[in-house]
Amino acid sequence: MTFFTSQVTSKNTKQRTATLLSIASVALLAFALPSNIQAQGRAKTAPPQTAKAAAPFDPSGYWTSIITEDWHVRMLVAPKGDFGSGPDAEGLPFGGQGSIPYTREAARLARAWDPAKDEAEGNQCKAYGAAGIMRLPGHLHIAWTDDYTLKMDIDAGTQSRVFHFKRPAPTGQAATAVAPEPVGEPSLQGNSIAEWVILGGRGDWSRGGNLKVVTTNLKPGYFWKNGMVYSGRLTLTEHFRYQKEPNGDEWLNFSQMAEDPQYLTEPWIITYHYKKLPDAAKWNPTACTAR
Amino acid sequence: MNKVVLFRIAGGLLLAGASLRLAYAQGQNSPTDLSGEWRRLTNHEDAHERGPGPDPGEYWGLPLNDAERMRADAYNGEVLSTNLYLQCRPHPTGYQQLGPDQMRIEKEIDTINRQLIAYRILFQRTPGDRMIWLDGRDRPSANAAHSWEGYSLGKWDGDTLTIATTHLKESFIRRNGVQGSFRRTVTEHVSLDEPYLTWVLIVNDPDYLTEPLIRSVTFVRAPNLQIPVYPCSPQQEEYRPEDVGKYRVPFYLTGANPYLTEVAFKYKTPLVGVRGGAESMYPEFVAKIKSETAPPQQFTLKPVYNDDSTRIAERIANQAAPAPTYDKVETLHVKGNIFLLSGAGANIALSVGGDGVVMVDAGAAQASDKVLKAIKEVARLPKPATVSNSASPYADVWQSTHSEAPPVIRMIIDTSAAADHVSGNGNIAGSPIFHPIGVEGGDQAASEVILSHENVQQTLIAAKVPVRAQPTNTYFSERYRLHRYFNNEGVEIQYMPHAVTDGDSVVWFRGSDVIATGDIFNSDMYPPLDIDHGGSIQGLIDALEKLADLCFPEYMGQGGTLVVPGHGWISDGSEVGYYRDMMIVVRDRVQDMIDKKMTLAQVKAAKPTMDYDPLFGRQPGATGKFVEAVYRSLTEKGATEKSVTEKKGK
């Protein structure tokens, strides 16, 4: 009996120990977790915010490209073989390789650019795919088409890119968010999955964040209009950031990282700058041109 | 396990949790950590410009105005061989990240509370660490020194660090002579998407750009990357035997640069494209380029400059100069014993120490009360305690260091006879705190009261200024050294003959390594070149050359010897060097016009200073007077000597 009692006592003590330790552990976790992680946890029980509502900045509106870099290969159609170092750059000790970290094969193909052939084959838009169009002189019109879809119309070549945010799963399905658009045939603008990257935290940096867009499933195209090729294996990662300057200028600055295992020797990263326009007055849709 | 033990364990865990939370909260000192070594992704953009460098005349994509265009058109890269201050000049803020250097970012931590208070950025070609202050401090005075890297305050905006930089030296925006003004500011947005760091640079230049210039570059983390030193030691390089030993500024006269069209020919681009301007940044410009053709061959461009920036001097030529208010008298430490007292007419340099105060110039008479008040304040700065032999050091030392004699002004040195420099002489000399060496009005050989070059004294006597305001002591030789160390350093006064006038002096505080220049050098205005009082453009150039040579830069052409200009902010040898080069360019342009038999009116109409006017020509009437003085200096042969002879004959 004593033995039994002692066993019972021991069992009760273990239960109490386990209970207390569990409470303490939960408390420890609660205290230790960063507030933004806690907030994510709470978000599971609270009604989920839509992508539009969660936006740290509103990208919608009209924007114009501001071209201060790579000017001669963006404002003009650079001569064949000009990779950014000028037409006579081959053999130069510096810069002769141009701006794009190309493989030899890519360079060979670029030097074989034939715009007449592109025109004959109806491929005038090869430089207007997602990996090339942002560097062309032009304007953007960005708008939410629904709470989870951001559409970017581009007047150069009259193109549209569509950024899909993950949506909450329909009732009764698995709780994980899903991308809505089925992946179809490769296209000029590919499939773009978007998300807001918000670090959270405290103080001045609690606000803000950037829009990350990853684009795949692209048809092969041109980085530059002078036939600088990219393959269908290209993955494009973009980070869009908004800044408002003291003089009132509003900028959409974004970096674009191209990873092409077929034609690039390393990720190629460049940054583009678009300035906010007050209205659609400058909007000027044009057709694609091959030269 | 008993209850007490259990509760202790649970309590311990709770405490540990709380501590972890606290540690996390305090450790989250910035949203991202930018520190580390960074490799620039070389040439992913603008390979041609960032690598070998832009071509002459390549201004595409730059929102520059005509004044800037004229400045850049005149640029000859050979100047880097002759101007020793430019030879080791680093890339300035607003361009630095676009250059070829790798980068290190370090954290500056407050040692008391261990919070991040600044980022410290180092490139191979930076004279020192560039500090990005994050602790909410204020900007320094407008009279504070400028530097290649400027003064930068940072603030997090979401996941982006925004940096605002002021106090920049004049330097380039593009490496083909497109200059950035000393009034420009730079805004940077730095964001990290591991392992890539994106750096957006926006240059705002009220003098040379019509719109902000935005550019960017990307770095990738490169742990343990070595940032090498840059032991650049400038050497005067002259390839022509006839130039050895002479200082010259290679540049192109307007319409004489044969290389401005090279880039248009090379890239088969219409000239309207390569000449740049804000419109060249916008998509609508494509139509304009397509409507024109590229030049079939290289030729010498005869540019026309006529936008708004070319009329800065005209617009204010006939405006009345605003009445001086003297409501912003400010004292700023320069270096060693020396302080700048500004806002009281011309700048006043003060040597402050145990021997009292020596003033270089006395400022305007109307500001004397404020000058005296400022001197009393600056002279009360803490002094080191002396060691006492007393049995009770406490009483002696404490009392002697916590009570003080009234501040004492010992001497005034006049750099010229200009009223904004010396009209305060009488008020200062008559103030109760003026206790000069020797007795005012007594034996001049036994006193040093108000000292100047003898020509200044002659000018002031001729102008019938009150006796009390006239120099009591003069010198006539190339240099004059105070008879004793003052505030533990030698003070040397050097005569600069026939520069702004015939009586200009600069004062060199040798221990503090500071030179007060008077009107020989002004950081943001043309010199008041006075031909009627013995000034000459060549004398001024010689004086600036001597001054530039006297300055010993600390590293990469900046720092070291500091300069208190006649007007403007604390400067150094590089700014004197720029100023000297400008004088040479203006002299040669005016001489070229004289050689073409142009009259003074025609020279003025041709605007030989147009590219410098946004920087230095913002005082009503000053540009016209300066151009006229240069013209007269070059045409009225013997005018200078005549002026001196006449004065001495009086």
Secondary structure (H, E, C), B607-636? CCCCCCHHHHCCCCCHHHHHHHHHHHHHHC
The length of chain A, given as a count of residues: 291
Tens digit of each residue's pLDDT (9 = 90 or more) over B507-525: 999 999 999 999 999 999 9
Q: Which of A11, A37, A76, A136 to mutate to test the interface with B (most CBs of B within 10 A)?
A: A76
Residue B617, pLDDT above cutoff 90: yes
Instruction: State the Cα–Cα distance between residues B150 and B133, nearest whole angstrom.
Output: 12
pLDDT of residue A26: 46
CB B430, CB B470: distance < 8 Å: no
Give how far B63 is from chain A: nearest CA, Å.
Answer: 9
pLDDT of residue B234: 86
User: How crowded is the C-beta side of B81, counted as CA atoms within 13 Å?
Assistant: 13
pLDDT of residue A80: 85
The SS3 call for residue B589 is helix
Cβ distance B157 to A31 less than 8 Å, yes or no, reads: no
Residues of chain A contacting residue B155, judged by C-beta atoms under 8 Å apart: 204
Closest Cα partner for A159 from A147, A141, A186, A182? Answer: A141
CA dist., res. B543 & res. A194, Å (int): 64
* Burial class (CB within 10 angstroms; exposed 0-12, middle 13-18, buried 19+) of B30: buried
Residues 6+ apart with CB under 8 A from B91: B98, B99, B101, B123, B125, B148
pLDDT band at B239, cuts 50/70/90? Answer: low
Give the separation between CA B600 and CA B627, rounded to whole angstroms.
9
Reported as type and span, the H/E element at residue B481 is: strand B479-481
Q: What number is the average pLDDT over the span B166-185?
A: 97
Residue with tokens 């103030």: B431
Do B311 and B324 meet the contact criterion of CB atoms below 8 Å apart?
no
Residue B270 contacts A where some CB pair is shorter than 8 Å: no
The mean pLDDT value for B164-191 works out to 97
Contact between A147 and A166 under an 8 Å Cβ cutoff? The reply is no
Range with lowest mean pLDDT among A29-43, B47-61, B556-570, B609-623: A29-43
* pLDDT means over runs of 10, chain A (291 residues): 39 52 48 41 59 94 97 90 65 56 90 95 97 98 97 98 88 55 85 90 66 97 95 98 96 97 94 98 97 90
Question: What distance separates the 2 farthest-apart alpha carbons in chain A?
Answer: 100
Number of residues assigned to chain B? 650
- Structural contact between residues B424 and B365, judged by C-beta atoms closer than 8 angstroms: yes
| DSSP 3-state of B134 | coil
Kindly list the residues from chain A whose CB atom is less than 8 angstroms away from the CB atom of residue B286: 75, 137
How close, in Å, is residue B286 to chain A by CA atoms? 6
User: What amino acid is encoded at B575 in this protein?
Assistant: E
Chain A hits for B219, CB-CB cut-off 8 Å, are none
For chain A, report the end-to-end CA distance as a whole number of angstroms.
98
Integer Cα distance of B585 and B74 in angstroms: 9
Residue of B44, B217, B292 to mutate, interface with A, max A Cβ within 10 Å: B44
For the record, the structure tokens of B147 come out as 């530097």
Q: Which residues contact B233 (CB under 8 A, 6 or more apart)?
A: B88
A2-32 vs B3-27: helix crossing angle, rounded to 10? 10
Closest residue to A23, CB basis, from B10, B193, B281? B10
pLDDT at residue B229, as a whole number: 85
Predicted pLDDT at B444:
63
The answer to whether B444 contacts chain A (CB < 8 Å) is no
Specify the range with the lowest mean pLDDT, choosing from A254-263, B357-366, B405-414, B580-589: B405-414
> Residue A22, exposed/middle/buried by CB under 10 A (0-12, 13-18, 19+)?
exposed
- Interface touch A66/B214, C-beta < 8 Å: yes
Dihedral sign computed on CA atoms, order B63, B67, B68, B72:
positive
Q: Which residues contact B550 (CB under 8 A, 6 or more apart)?
A: B494, B508, B515, B561
d(CA A232, CA B628): 68
- Residue B256 is encoded by which pair of tokens? 């004489």
Contact residues, chain A, for B206 at CB < 8 Å: none
> What are phi and psi for residue A32, nearest 5 degrees?
-75, -30
What is the rounded average pLDDT for all residues in chain B?
89
Stated pTM of the model: 0.89
Contact (Cβ atoms closer than 8 angstroms) between residue B334 and residue B570: yes
Kindly indicate the confidence band of residue B392, based on its pLDDT and cuts at 50, 70 and 90. Answer: low
Alpha carbon of B476: minimum distance to chain A alpha carbons (Å): 54
pLDDT in tens, B569-592: 999 999 999 999 999 999 999 999
Residue B532 CA to residue B642 CA, distance in Å, equals: 9
Q: How far is B46 from chain A (nearest CA, A)?
A: 5
Question: Which pLDDT value is given to residue B362?
Answer: 98
Residue B136: which pLDDT band, with cuts at 50, 70 and 90? very high
With beta carbons under 8 A apart, name residues in chain B contacting A23: 10
Looking at chain B from residue 137 to 176, which residues have their Cβ under 8 Å from any Cβ of chain A? 155-160, 162
Residues contacting B12, CB < 8 A, separation 6+ = none
The predicted pLDDT at position B595 comes to: 97
Say if the Cβ atoms of B51 and A94 lie within 8 Å.
yes
Instruction: Read off the pLDDT of each residue in B261-275 and give the average, rounded to a whole number.
Output: 92
Q: Are B361 and B518 in contact (CB under 8 A)?
A: yes
Give, to the nearest 10 degrees, the angle between helix B639-649 and helix B454-462: 70
Instruction: Tell me the residues of chain B between 595 and 614 that have a Cβ less than 8 Å away from chain A.
Output: none
pLDDT band for B117, please (50, 70, 90 cuts).
Answer: very high
Any idea what DSSP says for residue B139? P
Whether residue A20 and residue B284 make contact (CB cut-off 8 A), yes or no, is no
CA-CA distances (angstroms) from residue B505 to A179, A242, B414, B475, B521? 77, 54, 8, 10, 11
In a 10 Å sphere around its CB, with 0-12 CB exposed, 13-18 middle and 19+ buried, how is residue B325 labelled? exposed
pLDDT of amino acid B8: 60
3-state secondary structure of B444: helix
* Closest to A72 measured CA to CA, from A82, A59, A63: A82
Provide the pLDDT for residue A7.
42
Q: Where are the beta strands (DSSP E) in B489-556?
A: 491-496, 504-509, 514-518
User: Does B267 reach chain A within 8 Å, measured CB to CB?
Assistant: yes
Where are the alpha helices (H) located in B463-598, listed in sequence order? Answer: 537-550, 573-595
Compare CB distances from B218 to A65, A89, A255 and report the shortest one's residue: A255
Q: Whole-angstrom Cα distance, residue B184 to residue B165?
A: 9
Give kind and range of the element (H or E) at residue B156. strand B151-157
**Model confidence at B171: pLDDT above 90:** yes
* Span B210-215, average pLDDT: 98
Distance CA B398, CA A199 (A): 55
Residue B371's pLDDT is 98
Q: Cβ separation of B20 and A21 shorter than 8 Å?
A: no
Q: Which of B6, B158, B285 sits opposite A205 (nearest CB)?
A: B158
The whole-number pLDDT of residue A34 equals 43
Q: What residues in A contact B191, CB-CB < 8 Å? A: 210, 239, 241
Is B44's CB within 8 Å of A56's CB? no
Reported as type and span, the H/E element at residue B172 is: strand B171-174
Model pLDDT, residue A46: 62
Task: List, as ranges, residues 273-302 from B with C-beta within 8 Å of A.
Answer: 273, 280-286, 289
- Name chain B contacts of A245, Cβ cutoff 8 Å: 187, 202, 212
With beta carbons under 8 A apart, name residues in chain A contacting B4. none
Q: Residue B622 corresponds to which amino acid?
A: A
B222–A contact, CB cutoff 8 A = no
Determine whether the interchain pair B160/A247 forms a contact, defined as Cβ–Cβ distance below 8 Å. no
Least confident among A143-157, B177-191, B291-305? B291-305
Question: Is the Cβ pair A28, B7 closer than 8 Å?
Answer: no
C-alpha angle with apex B346: B342 to B347, nearest 5 degrees? 40
Do the Cβ atoms of B48 and A282 come within 8 Å?
no
Q: Do A76 and B217 touch (CB under 8 A)?
A: no
Q: What is the DSSP letter of B390?
A: S
Our CA angle for A195, A196, A197, nearest 5°, is 115
DSSP chain A: -HHHHHHHHHHHHHHHHHHHHHHHHHHHHHHHS-HHHHHHHHHHHSPPPPTTTT-SS---EEEEE---SSHHHHTS-PPTT-SSS-TT-TT-SSSTT-SS-B-HHHHHHHHT--HHHHHHTT-TTGGGSHHHHTTSS-EEEEEEEETTEEEEEETTTTEEEEEEEPBPPPTTS-SS-B--SPP-S-BSS-EEEEEEE----SGGGSS--EEEEEEE-BPPEEEETTTEEE-TT-EEEEEEEEEE-TTS-EEEEEEEEEE-TTTBSS-EEEEEEEEEESSSTT---------
Tokens of B193: 């998407």
Closest to B551 measured CA to CA, from B355, B335, B342: B335
Distance from the B170 Cα atom to the nearest Cα atom in chain A, whole angstroms: 21
Question: In this complex, do B281 and A28 lie within 8 Å of one another by their Cβ atoms?
Answer: no
Alpha helix stretches (DSSP H) within B467-555: 537-550
How many whole angstroms separate alpha carbon B373 and alpha carbon B243? 51
Contact criterion met (CB < 8 Å) for B216 and A273: yes
B622-635 and B573-595 helices cross at what angle (nearest 10)? 60
Contact B456, B471 (CB under 8 A): yes
Q: Does B202 have pLDDT greater than 70? A: yes
* Residues of chain A positioned with their CB less than 8 A from the CB of B20: 28, 31-32
For residues B336-358, average pLDDT = 96
Distance CA B409, CA B350 (A): 10
**Strand B514-518 to strand B562-565: parallel, antiparallel, or no bridges (unpaired)?**
parallel
Search chain A and give the residue with CA nearest B202: A245
A63-67, A132-136, B242-246, B382-386: segment of lowest average pLDDT: B382-386
CB contact (8 A) between residue A282 and residue B284: yes
Q: Chain A residue with minimal CA distance to B24?
A: A34
Single-letter amino acid, residue B517 = T
For the residues of B334-366, what is the DSSP string, one character each? Answer: EETTEEEEESSSS-EEEEEETTEEEEE----GG
